[in-house]
Structure 1
Amino acid sequence: MSSGASVSQECLSAFQELKTGKKIKYIIYGMNADNSEIVVLKTSTEKSYDTFLEELPETECRWAVYDMEFDSGEGIRNKLCFYMWTPDGAKIRPKMVYAASKDALRKSLVGISTEIQGTDFDEVSETSVLEKVRRK
Structure 2
Amino acid sequence: MSSAKGVQVTPDCVNAFQELKLAKKIKYIIYKISNDGKSIIVETKSKVTTYDEFLKHLPKSDCRWAVYDFDYKTSGGDRNKIVFYTWLPEAAATKSRMLYTSSKNALRKSLTGVGIEIQGTDYAEVSYSTVLKSVARG
Amino acid of the structure 1 residue aligned with 2:43: L
In the alignment, structure 2 segments of 5+ residues that lack a partner are none
The separation in 2 between residues aligned to 1:73 and 1:95, in whole angstroms, is 39
The separation in 2 between residues aligned to 1:12 and 1:100, in whole angstroms, is 19
Within-5 A mapping of 1:1-136: 2-136=4-138
| TM-score w.r.t. length of structure 2 | 0.96
The separation in 1 between residues aligned to 2:134 and 2:8, in whole angstroms, is 29
| TM-score w.r.t. length of structure 1 | 0.98
In the alignment, structure 1 segments of 5+ residues that lack a partner are none
Q: Residue 126 of structure 2 aligns to a residue in which SS?
A: coil
Encode CA deviations 1:68-117: one digit per residue, 9 max, x unaligned.
Answer: 00112101111000000000000000101100100000010000011000
Amino acid of the structure 2 residue aligned with 1:6: Q
Quote the RMSD (CA, aligned, Å).
1.0
Aligned residues: 136
The separation in 2 between residues aligned to 1:45 and 1:19, in whole angstroms, is 13
The separation in 1 between residues aligned to 2:4 and 2:15, in whole angstroms, is 22
The separation in 2 between residues aligned to 1:2 and 1:17, in whole angstroms, is 24
The separation in 2 between residues aligned to 1:120 and 1:85, in whole angstroms, is 8
Amino acid of the structure 1 residue aligned with 2:80: N
The separation in 1 between residues aligned to 2:116 and 2:23, in whole angstroms, is 20
Q: Residue 22 of structure 2 aligns to a residue in which SS?
A: helix
Percent identical among aligned pairs is 49
